[in-house]
Structure 1
Amino acid sequence: MVVWFFISPCITNGCNAVFSKVNVITKMKFPVSILPATVVLKELFNHFCLMVILLIIFLFGGIYPTWHWIGLIYYALCAIIFSISLSMTTSVLNMLARDTRKLVLACMRLLLYLTPILWDIKQLTHMPKIVGLVMKANPIYYVVQGYRDCFFYHKGILFYSHSMIAFWVITLILFVFGSYMMYKFKHKFIDLI
């Protein structure tokens, strides 16, 4: 849940990153494309605070750090890059159509239950194999499972190689598309306000 409490606000608040800074955009000239990153970095501080609390709870519960916990740095970077990439795309779409944020909020509520955060993906044994593959291609699943494995199962970063490939392909596509959208509409943001 700690990972979800980081990714979910990054995506929902990142969707509104450009629109919420209307006053700044109209008064001064600066690269608007950094606004989604500022939202993610603000949420990163909250994530680190939650991670410290989680570490204290683990220590009292008898779970001590291992060298596998170093993988948390990689998975945190994955979460940051994915959140920035998705926020770049959705923040521009939110400027074009204001209902985009409502759609993102609804999708995030649904995604909490579709992503194996609250349940184990091994419960999908009775489902068709394609359902499991689609679930494992979910970028949020990759990050959540990575955190879980670093803490509890002590698996390496390369254990989920197929999910890793799907994660980076999706993240790269989102980043390129978001960058293109930011570049294409950078002069029209004031008109869209």
Structure 2
Amino acid sequence: MFMIYKEMWNRRKMIHTLSLQEMKREYAGTVLGAFWGLVNPLMRIAVFWFVFSVGARAGGPVNGAPFIAWLSIGMVAWFLLNDGFKLSQKSFRSKRNIIKNTPFPISILPAVQIAFAFYTHLILLVVMLVITAIGLKSISFYWLQILYYDFAALMLLIGLGAVTAPIVAVSKDFGRFLDTILVFLFWMTPIFWSIENLKGLEQLWFIEYIVKLNPFHYIVQGYRDSVFYQVGFWEQPVYTLYFWGLVFFLLILGNYLYKRMKPIFLDLL
């Protein structure tokens, strides 16, 4: 049932090596190297903070958490999800030269791209946690939950990559559609606004539940619950069960699509 994930696990050392090579290739010829993976997201966070705090004057504390810290932690989670999804869903199409010209275990390609995004994410995560600890002048045992949410994010991304990579390999248009969906999710995932704001809208009470159907929200909110609000994932058993049920479904579907579509996209690439 999980053929491609078994191969990913058996070749985990290869995935690690290839992801590091991908990082070196990405930043080859630059002075800062992999630290560009830190500079770019920090600049984006600063721009969004300026727009919302200074421009829109909407940068007040969010449930007691300073807005800049609350925004930064949410965006750190989002960058992992966004970059991991974008890279994994294009992994077969972007590596078609390897697929065509070498005997290669192509099923591991989505995992390679996800690992590349994750290693870049770790640099940003460590820096932001250090800055947050200095700003808040405290740390909590709940910060260890970020390890759980990172694992959850990786499993979600593997499932999404396994589902979408074969389809994108066949249809370039589907890849563009997914890029559009990511833009939609960027604004609909509560990164710049709190889902608590929806509780006062009685006529739109259902929107809160629609937002929570988005598995990206589970990760982003989980980061913030761990750093600011000391809420354990075990305190939301129904939501956690929904998230892992969705991940399990994506993993099954991804394995099925890969096996059925592999002969098709190998001919088309």
Q: TM-score, normalised on structure 1?
A: 0.94
Larger Rg: 2
Cα distance between partner residues in 1 of 2:237 and 2:114: 26
1:74 alignment partner in structure 2? 148
Q: Aligned runs of 1:109-148 on 2, under 5 Å? A: 109-125=183-199, 126=201, 127-148=203-224
Q: CA deviation at 1:131?
A: 1.8
Contact 1:137 1:163 in 2 (8 A): no
Q: 1:128-175, CA deviations, whole angstroms, 9 ceiling, x for partnerless residues?
A: 332211211211011111110000001112122222122111111111
Aligned counterpart, 1:175: 251
Deviation at 1:15, TM superposition (A): 1.2
Verify the 8 A CA contact 1:32 1:186 in the aligned structure 2: no
Q: Secondary structure at the match of 2:172?
A: coil
The CA distance in 2 between the partners of 1:140 and 1:101, in whole Å, is 19
**Whose relative contact order is higher, 1 or 2, with alpha carbons under 8 Å and at least 6 apart?**
1
- Matched with 1:44 is 118
Hey, what does 1:8 align to over in structure 2? 82
In structure 1, which of residues 29, 43, 65 is the aligned counterpart of residue 139 of structure 2?
Answer: 65
Identical residues among aligned pairs (%): 30
**TM-score, normalising length: structure 2:** 0.69
Aligned CA RMSD, in angstroms, stands at 1.3
Tell me, in whole angstroms, the C-alpha distance in 2 between the residues paired with 1:168 and 1:151.
22
**Counterpart pick for 1:166 among 225, 235, 242:** 242
Q: Contact 2:110 / 2:165 at 8 angstroms: preserved in 1?
A: yes
CA distance in 1, matches of 2:233, 2:176: 35
Q: Deviations 1:76-112 (Å, cap 9, x if unpaired)?
A: 0000110111011111110121111111111111111
2:126 & 2:256 partners in 1: Cα distance? 37
Q: Secondary structure at the match of 1:118?
A: coil
Deviates more, 1:149-158 or 1:132-141: 132-141
Q: Judge which range, 29-38 or 8-17, deviates more.
A: 29-38
Return 5+ residue gaps in structure 1 as ranges. Answer: none
What residue ranges of structure 2 are gaps of 5+ in the alignment?
A: 1-74
**Paired residue for 2:263?**
187
